[in-house]
Structure 1
């Protein structure tokens, strides 16, 4: 809104009448402080300074120091300096510039043109370069400074006093001036959406092979942007996307088995994706990430290979080692025949090791000290508990994040989403907030 020049005749009496009717104290425009004028010149210089250089590999600044304007709580006389605390100075119209949407859009489009221009199957290094070029764009949201000058003026002129004095035309002009303006936070959200969509476009290209490094880079980028909605789909594509191959100048796609152990998502990447969904308070995305990571067949097979192969080999080799030890012990005595002594020693050692190992396994797999809200249902096999422990821990984290934080209020959550989460947990052979395991109920 453009401020009209000060007129000491009829305008003075009109402003005094407005202030008396609205209950606000009149402030002389001539008493503007030098600090407000200096800040106005500084904001004018900032508006002419280019904020973003259109190069994809360079970082982008998104915010400037924000000056919060406060209203004076006590009436001040005309001899004081009230313009420092009033909304009539240049400080009240200052807002942080935020990201330049046009410059960011041009930089992102340049990266997409360079990446999507060549034909053929791009290498992993080329895809990583494109993703990192987009990730270098600084899209930190700019803080809001509250109500702007034009919105405040429009609100003031819509008061009954302004209607009585015939100032409706001023209110209409102020509303028209404030309508096309967008706040810095809205411009920041537009930039974030632009960068997120560009990364999604790169990864979902049919000729792009999503490797572990590319998946980790994409998940970190979306987690930093706060956009986890596309993560379940990308995690599914990581395991099931057809692999392109260049054969005789033509691209052919080879189908993949999503249940193979090599298609499992790394636990660190899965934890980052789940944390991003929880931070964004997106329950649907969190469950989708869970189903494509911890609950997937590929993850379970990978866990069997990595964590159960060596213990299983040790269990299979234990009877052989015990029999060899029994034969050696049988040679050290002369009361029984060697074969009979070997049988006695072997049977005793097998019974001792078997019973001790069984008790230890039961104690290990039935421990619930790490469980907060989600526990296993009665009768769930031990092998199922061990295989799906990461899934249970993830559901426990989701329940604690979307429910009440106070422990004494566990189980009091209401709403359609949380009721659906409770039923989903029950369908996975788990119980949310088991009564017999709550504090004071056992």
Structure 2
């Protein structure tokens, strides 16, 4: 039996010991079936692109396919739109141009139904372009279970095809409204605003609002077509508050400050809008207040017949003064309470000396400007007043010219 000499081993880490003594590990190639393709899915951490392996018969000449642009998953977890077929988009735009040409080349005055039909067709094209249908596969359904409680916003697919198509469709719709024989009705204007909101192109909305108020109206039955001037200050030519709000919200979402200012100028800051507000909300109370003295005198005359302590004429005068004083005092308190309320104001307030009637009649204008300031300024309340830059200074000057103050010092957080 041979003797062995034992040697003391130097200290070795566990990883090195495993590498030196363990079995050898050989890399084995992974085989991926050629017919398998990966389906795209969105995740809050990663975004995987669509892949497809090369078919077995790669030497064959592939068939021509249409150019498609797909939107990658957004880092904020927004929805992924389906691929966009460039040939389909071009076909839809050619159809839209053909509809426009058929409408404006028609002799005489186009009917409202024909104009509305063209805008409805444009709306359908815009819906297919900006809000394509989502993939309803089982994989996407499973992956959307986690966020089913909180729907993700649909983001605009930023691609040259979509941008160019939306711009061209917007220009076609504007050319329809600019055609002289076409009379812009409230229904036509509503369809146009909804179309531009879908396309997310608010740049032409101020022009459309100006056309609605000032465009000469064609005379029915005239040949050749004659036109008559319209009064832009007439209440019938005012822009509806809902349409103005939708247009302003579209401009804010697209971060277009100049367009937002122009929308305020052509909607809220017009005599027609103020007259419409007065007719709808103040005409009835003012009429009742004007008839109050006559009604108070009639009531006082009847009340004087139920007493015997004084002369009926004196009793009538006393009752008349009392009733009229009560109505007047209550009216003054109510008017002051309504016109001086400022709980709804955030960053834009009225300047000192602004008449109460102006404050009430222009409240929608102030609220719209307040919404613009909230969108362009800091969201944190404690950071208000720290904004700077060319756009912010232009906004501050624009607000001041309207008799308003942006970020009044004594109303800011911690400055009471």
- Indicate whether the TM-score tops 0.5: yes
Report 1:325-364 matches (<5 A).
325-364=299-338
Q: Does 1:102 align with 2:90?
A: yes
Report 1:47-58 matches (<5 A).
none
Report 1:141-290 matches (<5 A).
185-290=159-264
Q: Does 1:296 align with 2:270?
A: yes
Q: Distance in 2 between matches of 1:246 and 1:323?
A: 51
Shift of 1:353: 2.1
1:112 is aligned, of 94, 97, 100, to 100
1:382 is aligned, of 356, 369, 385, to 356
| TM-score normalised per structure 2 | 0.75
Which of the pair is proportionally richer in helix? 1
Q: Is the 8 A contact 2:296 2:320 kept in 1?
A: yes
Secondary structure, counterpart of 1:372 in structure 2 = coil
Shift of 1:116: 2.6
Q: Is the 8 A contact 1:278 1:286 kept in 2?
A: yes
| Map of 2:294 onto structure 1 | 320
- Structure 2: tracts of 5 or more residues without a match: 1-26, 39-50, 75-81, 133-156
Shift of 1:250: 0.6
Q: Structure 1: which 4+ aligned runs deviate by more than 4 Å?
A: 27-33, 46-51, 62-68
| Map of 1:128 onto structure 2 | 116
What per-residue deviation string (whole Å, max 9, x for no partner) do you get for residues 35-87 of structure 1?
35982479x9x985679xxxxxxxxxx8769699xxxxxxxxxxxxxxxxxxx
Q: Distance in 1 between matches of 2:353 and 2:375?
A: 28
Shift of 1:272: 0.9
Q: Is the 8 A contact 2:69 2:159 kept in 1?
A: no
Report 1:405-416 matches (<5 A).
405-416=379-390
Q: Is the 8 A contact 2:218 2:227 kept in 1?
A: yes
**Structure 1 residues 230 and 338, CA, compared in 2 at 3 Å: closer, same or farther?**
same
**Structure 1 residues 238 and 136, CA, compared in 2 at 3 Å: closer, same or farther?**
same
- Structure 1: tracts of 5 or more residues without a match: 1-26, 52-61, 69-94, 143-182
What per-residue deviation string (whole Å, max 9, x for no partner) do you get for residues 87-110 of structure 1?
xxxxxxxx9455434323322222
Q: Distance in 2 between matches of 1:63 and 1:186?
A: 9
2:52 is aligned, of 11, 35, 39, to 39
RMSD of Structure 2 on Structure 1 (CA): 3.0
Secondary structure, counterpart of 1:369 in structure 2 = coil
What per-residue deviation string (whole Å, max 9, x for no partner) do you get for residues 381-428 of structure 1?
111111101100100111101111111111111111111111111111
